[in-house]
Copies of this chain bind each other. A is one copy, B any other.
Amino acid sequence: MSEIVFYDIPGKTEDTKAWSPSTWRTRYSLNFKGIPYRTEWVEYPEIEKVCKEIGAEPTDKSPDGKPLYTFPVIHDPSTNTILSDSTPIAEYLDKTYPDSPKLFPPGTKGFHAAFDSAFYSILARTPSLWNLVALGACTNLTPRSEAFFRDTFWRRRCDETTPIEELAGSEGSERKEQNWREVEADWVKIGTWYEASGGLFLTGGETPCYADIVLAAWLVWARQSWGKGSEDWKRLERLDGGRWGRFMKAFEKYEAVV
């Protein structure tokens, strides 16, 4: 089969080469399934232009009502398909490459949708993880992308009244501890689902499914934003008896950036 072209957003260092938590879902999916692909790196301000050029559909609307173009996007020459958005891409990959490992094990599509509701109702309730990773995430972009990201995405999604530099709170401050208390409560709660599964991953074994990838994509983003050796990352790794440290350790084999 011909190589898939995977459109991704670059970070500015070797350690944060693949920058976005949304595109990480697709990178993990492709690596997990072992499907050959190459990456087309596109800076934030060019995403809309590239999508229009290749005919990728917008995934949402801007507050001003205009179509919003986002990555990930894939182009699969073997089926002449251009597809936007991580979950449709994952479904497409399962359908088009049925001999590769399944992202959605049989009978779990409905459960995956409920999982999404559960996960995003937790993330939406507390902006604490955003607060803690925001500054590192921004400054891991190239200057052009960083300026664009601050001006558009961040303004649309986040607390506009507090400068990004102040969201996390300084080391040891009550603001930072409050953010951490919320992050800890959220990820301990998510941990109860994994405890119920009886295994490392949500289906109860050692093989991840798409729901695990959704979490890993957030966690890898947090890890990159803080740095792997940072106290913040170590704190998340240690949480809940080391659950998320073990979880991300097991994901390392799917983290190749090609």
Interface residues of A (CB under 8 A from B): 105-115, 117-119, 121-122, 189, 192-199, 201-205, 211
Q: Is the interface of A mostly helix, strand, loop or mixed?
A: helix
Residue of B115, B189, B195, B203 near A107 (CB, 8 A) is B203
**Cα distance, A110 to B111, chains bound together (Å):** 10
Q: Is the CB of B117 within 8 A of A189?
A: yes
For the complex formed, measure the closest distance between the CB of A163 and the CB atoms of chain B, giving whole angstroms.
31
Q: Is the CB of B193 within 8 A of A117?
A: yes
Q: Given A110-B197, A111-B112, output 15 extra A-B contacts at Cβ < 8 Å.
A: A106-B204, A107-B205, A108-B111, A109-B196, A110-B194, A110-B201, A111-B114, A111-B202, A111-B203, A113-B197, A114-B193, A114-B202, A117-B189, A118-B118, A118-B121
For the complex formed, measure the closest distance between the CB of A72 and the CB atoms of chain B, giving whole angstroms.
20
**Cα distance, A113 to B203, chains bound together (Å):** 11
A-B contacts, 14 of them at CB < 8 A, read A108-B108, A108-B203, A109-B196, A110-B197, A111-B112, A111-B115, A111-B193, A111-B202, A111-B203, A113-B197, A115-B118, A117-B121, A117-B189, A117-B193
* Residues A110 and B189 in contact in the complex (CB < 8 Å), given A115-B118, A118-B115, A118-B117: no
